[in-house]
Chains A and B, each alone.
Chain A
Amino acid sequence: MMNNPSTPAIQFDKVSRYFGEVKAVDHVDLEIIDGEFFSMLGPSGSGKTTCLRMIAGFDRPTSGKIHLYGQDVSSLPPYERDVNTVFQDYALFPHMNVEANIAYGLMVKNVARQERTKHVDEMLELVRLSGFAGRKPSQLSGGQRQRVALARALINHPKVLLLDEPLGALDLKLRQQMQIELKAIQKRVGITFIFVTHDQEEAITMSDRIAVFNQGKIEQIGSPSDIYERPASSFVAGFVGTSNLVGGEIAKRTTGSEQTFSIRPEKIHIGSVSDNPASGMISLDGVIRDVVYLGLFTRYLIEIEDGVDLVVVEQNLKSTSMDVLSAKGQKVKLSWHQDHISRVGG
């Protein structure tokens, strides 16, 4: 069956999954485009992993339908779906070596041994593990296991590859390296990747589009820049990056509306009290309550009213740690461009 480019890779049609009283996934509608790198982002218990498990077939929706390239797969077992998974704990078979692990998908389909070896070699090359075929999983490092898990899932050339927080167990350096590598592999094989993570930075780095999950529902779907610059809700603003939420009286004074808005810490400029705001700028007076020097940049906590603090981040372009730390207690004027706020309602 050819994949019609207009048919979504995955389509959720009012999908719900209840565990007793708990609504893990609650009436989710979702379309994932063929060939894209799609991330499901959210805190633990937000329903993103349940969605992934329902696509894989490990779990079935309580109600609603899941379509894979137009085919209703809602009640198909995992072994009849053209979808493969990279597991959080890699789930490599401990009693098989790397070669047997990668060849497993072909072995259960009775592909001839010679053919299998050929494909395994290709996969080992793709994940840069040539020469490791004879090792047991226990003889590999975390990063190497990760690559074996990836190769094993890709050897069947699935229509969609599911990745369940696959980088969670790796250290920071390796994680960043794997992020770039995963993205490159996805480009090369051209398969739709669905990536589940709770790490917003990871989602922003790798994804074409992101769905932000919260309490079983999707709060927002969009490109990384959409999500970051124009968060649709206060939850998204708070979960993706740091955000200042301003509402009530202060919002009314500065923007003319009581509706809550969010402003990113790096968009706020700290100036002296005597500065006159330029046109299009919103300004507020405040006192520096706290300073955290972080090397590359400094984080300020600035009180703009009793009990209302804004977080502001400034790069340490010219200032030294002595300069920034002595700023504590100073009166300042904060300003930002009116286009940089986003209304999050509520």
Chain B
Amino acid sequence: MLNRISTYFYQRPKLVLALFLTPPMLYMLVVYLGSLFSLLINSFYSIDDFTGMIVREFTMRTYAQIFNIANREIVFRTAAMALVVTIVDALIAFPLAYYIAKFASPRLRTWLLIAVTVPLWSSYLVRVYAWKLILAKEGILSWFIHLFNLTDALDWLLGLPGIGGSSLSLSPIGMFIVFVYIWLPYMIIPIQTALERVPGSLLEASSDLGARPSQTFRTVILPLAFPGVVAGSIFTFSLTLGDFIIPLTLGNSKFFIGQAVYSYQGTGGNVPLAAAMTMGPVVIMVLYLLIARRLGAFDAI
């Protein structure tokens, strides 16, 4: 009996494929794309200012609200933060990933990869709150800064317009530090994977042909690791764009996209505006991917 069933399936490979693919495809379509679609629909509804009820009629009014000055600033602020976080993460992650991929012994590599990923096992909230304490006015970081007599430098930094604040944890600088920390593993792993796939003989060939290490880095290592950097930046960029916990916990009262969405759909009850705000990061990410493709980030994959 069992034999006959397996023979039946063996002779119908397409049926087997269909059976295997249908559940995940259904999930993709209904849960994943479906929710995105309902988001899109909602963003074209509007809210009745008087009753606070959602008007289910097609309108561009909600989108127009995004372009008022306050919301435009939120989008710009978030995108700028995401960009800076991405660049700094890439700068920190590259040497680390390079060391892990090309120099560390297999044993050390395993340990380093565990060290990179272990923070992801603990709760994100706990880590954010831990940072809030570290960065607080009476926190351990200020204590260290005081110890090294750098309090003046810190005060100068916190006095900078736009990014300063009364303490690190209450300033955009503090938010930036935490963002960089939180998303760093998502940058290290793709770069490390990309570098691991670069055969050692390519680096030897480059050096053999007369390239100094800096030239080898520029002409061989960087171009071949670039897809990894792009993959990592997609994580760090989009995660920063959408995050609302960190702006809620740290920084000043200036809104970020995630926070705005959170308050519009929650306390504000303005689901259409929240949906339209969410479409912002989606559009930014699509543009980002198109530019990345233009730069040849996916050519070597």
Kindly state whether residue B105 has any CB partner on chain A within 8 Å.
no
B300 touches A94 (CB 8 A): yes
A95 interface residue per 8 A CB criterion: yes
CB distance from B296 to the nearest CB of A (A): 8
Please give the distance in Å from A278's CB to the nearest CB on chain B: 57
Report A-chain residues with C-beta under 8 Å of the C-beta of B219: 104, 107-108
Q: Shortest CB–CB separation between residue B193 and chain A, in angstroms?
A: 16
A91 to B215, CA, bound (A): 17
B141 contacts partner chain A, Cβ-Cβ < 8 Å: no
Contact between B205 and A109 (Cβ–Cβ < 8 Å)? no
Cα distance A87–B223 in the bound complex, in angstroms: 21
For residue A244, CB closer than 8 A to chain B, the reply is no
Report the stretch among B54-62, B69-77, B127-135, B206-214 that lies at the interface. B206-214
Most buried by A among B209, B215, B220: B209
B201 at the A interface (CB under 8 A) = yes
Q: Contact at B204–A78, with CB atoms within 8 Å?
A: yes
Q: For A79, what are the chain B residues with a Cβ–Cβ distance below 8 Å?
A: 207-212
Q: Is there contact, CB below 8 Å, between B208 and A94? A: no
* Closest B residue to A83 using CB positions: B208
Complex-state Cα separation, A156 to B205, whole angstroms: 13
CA distance A62 to B259 in the complex (A): 62
B206 touches A104 (CB 8 A): yes
Is B299 part of the binding interface, using a Cβ–Cβ cutoff of 8 Å? yes
By the criterion CB–CB under 8 Å, are A58 and B204 in contact? yes
B202 located at the interface, meaning its Cβ lies under 8 Å from any Cβ of chain A in the complex: yes
Assembly CA distance A57 to B210 (angstroms): 11
**Contact (A105, B201) CB under 8 Å given A95-B224, A95-B300:** no
Q: Is A335 positioned at the interface, with any CB of B under 8 Å from its CB?
A: no
What are the residues of chain B within 8 A of A83 when measuring CB–CB? Answer: 208
B199 at the interface (CB under 8 A from A): yes
Contact of A93 (CB < 8 Å), options: B210, B212, B215, B220: B220
Residues 154-176 of A contacting B (Cβ, < 8 Å)? 156
Is A108's CB under 8 angstroms from B208's CB? no
Q: How far does the Cβ of A298 sit from chain B's closest Cβ, in whole Å?
A: 43
CB pair B300–A84 under 8 Å, yes or no, is no
Contact B211 A93 (CB under 8 A): no
Q: Cβ of A107: which chain B residues have Cβ within 8 Å of it?
A: 219
Report Cα–Cα, A94/B220, bound state, in Å. Answer: 9
A318 CA / B121 CA spacing, docked (Å): 79
Give the contacting residue for B208; candidates A56, A88, A92; CB below 8 A: A56
Report the nearest B residue to A107, measured CB to CB: B219
Q: Is A108 a contact partner of B224 (Cβ separation < 8 A)?
A: no
SS class, residues of chain B in contact with chain A: helix
Residue of B nearest to A84 (CB): B208
Nearest-neighbour CB distance to chain A for B165, whole angstroms, equals 44
Q: Please, how many angstroms separate the alpha-carbon atoms of A95 and B206 in the complex? A: 13
Which of B212, B219, B223, B224: most chain A Cβ within 10 A?
A: B219
A152 contact set on B, CB distance < 8 A: 205, 209
Is the CB–CB distance between B208 and A85 below 8 Å?
A: yes
List chain A residues, Cβ under 8 A from B300: 94-95
Given A79-B212, A108-B215, A108-B219, A93:B202 Cβ within 8 A: yes
A16 CA / B51 CA spacing, docked (Å): 88
Report yes or no: A94 in contact with B209, Cβ–Cβ below 8 A: no
A89 at the interface (CB under 8 A from B): yes
* B224 in contact with A91 (CB, 8 Å): no
- In the bound complex, CA of A58 to CA of B210 (Å): 13
Please determine whether A105 and B210 come into contact, CB atoms closer than 8 angstroms: yes
Q: Contact between A105 and B209 (Cβ–Cβ < 8 Å)?
A: yes
User: Contacts A108-B215, A108-B219: A91 and B205 contacting too (C-beta < 8 A)?
Assistant: yes
The complex places the Cα of A91 from the Cα of B200 at a distance, in Å, of 9
Partner of B299, one of A77, A95, A105, A108: A95
> B207 near A91 (CB under 8 angstroms)?
no
From A56, A87, A94, A105, B224 is in contact (CB under 8 Å) with A94
Minimum distance in angstroms from B182 CB to a CB of chain A? 32
Hey, which chain A residues are within 8 Å of B209, CB to CB? Answer: 79, 84, 104-105, 108, 152-153, 156
Contacts of B208 in A (CB 8 A): 56-58, 78-79, 83-85, 153
Q: Closest approach, in angstroms, between the C-beta of A169 and any C-beta of chain B?
A: 13
Given contacts A89-B199, A94-B224, A95-B223, contact A108 B204 (CB under 8 A): no
- For the complex, give the distance between the alpha carbons of A79 and B224 in Å: 21
B207-262 residues at the A interface, CB under 8 angstroms? 207-212, 215, 219-220, 223-224
Q: In whole Å, how far is B187's beta carbon from the nearest beta carbon of chain A?
A: 21
Q: Which residues of A contact B199 (CB under 8 A)?
A: 89, 91
Contacts of A93 in B (CB 8 A): 202, 205-206, 220
The answer on a CB contact under 8 Å between B204 and A77 is: no
Q: Scan A44-63; emit 1 where CB is below 8 A from any B CB, else 0.
A: 00000000000011100000
Q: Which residues of A contact B215 (CB under 8 A)?
A: 108
Q: Is the CB of A77 within 8 A of B201?
A: no
Q: Give A92 to B224 CA distance when docked, in angstroms.
A: 12
* Sample (29) of A-B pairs whose CB atoms are under 8 Å apart: A56-B204, A57-B207, A58-B204, A58-B207, A77-B207, A78-B207, A79-B208, A79-B209, A79-B211, A83-B208, A85-B204, A87-B204, A87-B205, A91-B201, A91-B202, A91-B205, A93-B205, A93-B206, A93-B220, A94-B224, A95-B223, A95-B299, A104-B209, A107-B219, A108-B212, A152-B205, A152-B209, A153-B208, A156-B209
A interface vs B, CB < 8 Å? 56-58, 77-79, 83-85, 87-89, 91-95, 104-105, 107-109, 152-153, 156
Interface residues of B (CB under 8 A from A): 199, 201-202, 204-212, 215, 219-220, 223-224, 299-300
